[in-house]
Amino acid sequence: MVFQPNERLHLGAEAEVWSGLWMGRQAVRKIRRKRGWRHPNLEKRLGFRRLLSEARLLIRARRVGLEVPAIWDVDLEKGILIMEMLPGRPLIELLRDEKSTQDMIRNSLYNSGALVRRLHRLAITHGDLSTNNILIDDDLSAHLVDFGLASIDYEVERFGIDLHVIDEILGASHPSIEGGIDIFLEGYLDEESRLGPAKEQTGGVVPSADAVMKRLEQVRSRVRYHG
């Protein structure tokens, strides 16, 4: 695995992410960080499973044309993924940029919601839908990254929680964006209307967009009640 690092993009509790070159192409290297407090055997098994799951879900999404990075190389023993570097900048930067117009903001949020619905229709929940993990390119198209917490699911609760995460982040981190979550959810619902009912997957039937929206309202109510 030949990777020439350039710049560290992220250092988190679970992984370290670098940009660089792989086989002459712009790439991203993600290295899972070992958790010293875990037993070495357990740490190895967990790291192996999570990395394998992330790679499989990215391949599953990419195969049907979703805007996610292509997997170029995997080293399960060392906990390394080499992925395509996608175009664009994080949604968080666009939303905080004073030069961003209202149309740019609206289109970015709407396209992000539409992409998340396409992901959900594959029975994949992202698990960490933050404005850092959505990239927006020059055409204002959305791309999703960081599938470290993603999973296959058919329970409506997990889909509702996915939307609740982005709802909370837009409210807390981007309070100046009025109605941001409404635009995002508009894109989510419109994508379902455009594509029709989701096809049945090998593990079952994916909850409809309307069902996920109802569960989002229930999650919001629970949070308000306990808050």
Could you identify the residue written with the tokens 């990419």? 62
How far apart are alpha carbons 209 and 189 in whole angstroms? 6
128 is catalytic: yes
Helix (H/G/I), strand (E/B), else coil: 34:
coil
Handedness of CA 195, 157, 210, 227 (dihedral sign): negative
- Cα distances from 194 to residues 187, 197, 212, in angstroms, run 10, 9, 17
**Gap between the Cα atoms of 92 and 103, Å rounded:** 16
Q: Kindly name the residue from 73, 128, 137, 190 that is annotated as catalytic.
A: 128
- Whole-angstrom CA distances from 5 to 18, 25, 149 are 6, 12, 24
What residues are paired with 22 via a beta bridge? Answer: 3, 25
What values do phi and psi take at 85, rounded to 5? -85, 120
Residues annotated as part of the active site: 128
